Amino acid sequence: MTSATLTPDVNQSRPAGNRRSAPAGHPLSRVSGLGLGVAMLWFSLLVLIPLAAVVAVAGSGGWSGFWDAITAEQTLASIELTIFTSVGVTLVNVVMGTLIAWVLVRDRFFGKRVLEVLVDIPFALPTIVAGLVLLSLYGPKSPIGVDIANTRVAVFVAFLFVTLPFIVRTVQPVLAEIDQDVEEAAASLGASRFTIFRRVILPSLTPAITAGAALSFARGVSEYGSLVLLSGNLPMRTEVTSVRIFSSIENDNLENAAAVATVLLVISFAVIVLLDVIQRRTVRRG
């Protein structure tokens, strides 16, 4: 007796109504296919091709040239300052941005609409204008007596200013959609406010907080205009990577500029992947 006769056919042993057929694919219609093609072409022209060109220029001098460009003492100092400052600013924004979103959604107070408008100012204000505003407020002629010009604190403050709205605006609509009846039910069962926030609210907000954190970090890494006046761009002290890249371009050294840009690209991609992993684990644990 063969093994084929000993093993029953699973599909035949089930009633006809309970048989599971393999999921059939749904081919795109002509309109959908055209839309997908146009979208991918547009995305390639704006993102993929430019990024590929930057990587190609970075590798045009070979591995030794690339390594020498990114390991130069001044370049390493600028990368370190940019990355660590962006991480610190992102952590601050996760807390303060969520708090501001909570106040805007859950509380009613005089001047709420004005605060809503003020949160969006970093979006609408040109970054070089933001830099001028920060220099006027925190520079040598500060009206409040706070002079942080040409220091690393200036870089931190500039990053905070331009990245403030990201987490606020990603968390706010999600928080507004959370059903408060679930929170009231949890409270009636004896859950503390901290437990309700950790087990009910936070899992719902985690994807939005993660998305806002990724945007905040990416904006900090690439920022230029808001800090170029206040930081002083001092080599080995307050020079960030965007300024370093611009200096390389001014000196007609495109390979070095592309090499530093490639490093930032890799770091940003790694941070986005890490945040996505943290988000999934947090939501799963609930």
pLDDT tens-digit readout, 245-257: 999 998 888 899 9
Check: CB of residue 272 under 8 Å from CB of residue 113: no
Q: Is residue 20 over pLDDT 60?
A: no
| Number of Cβ within a 10 Å radius of residue 226 | 28
Lowest mean pLDDT among 8-12, 59-63, 103-107, 223-227: 8-12
d(CA 230, CA 154): 6
What sign results for the dihedral spanned by CA atoms 246, 225, 155, 223?
negative
Lowest mean pLDDT among 13-17, 83-87, 89-93: 13-17
pLDDT, tens only, 157-174: 999 999 989 999 999 999
Of 255 and 32, the structure prediction assigns the larger pLDDT to 255
Cα torsion at 103, 105, 107, 112 (round to 10°)?
80
pLDDT value at residue 37:
87
| Residue of 208, 179, 184 lying closest to 196 (CA atoms) | 184
Q: Is residue 8 over pLDDT 60?
A: no
Task: Kindly list the distances between the CA atom of residue 227 and the CA atoms of 22, 89, 161, 224, 280, in Å, as whole numbers in the listed order.
Answer: 57, 14, 10, 6, 34
Average pLDDT, the chain: 84
CB burial of residue 61 (10 Å; 0-12, 13-18, 19+) = middle
| Residue of 44, 61, 82 lying closest to 259 (CA atoms) | 61
Helix 152-177 / helix 73-106 crossing angle, nearest 10 deg? 40
Of 195 and 24, the structure prediction assigns the larger pLDDT to 195
Cα torsion at 12, 15, 18, 21 (round to 10°)?
30
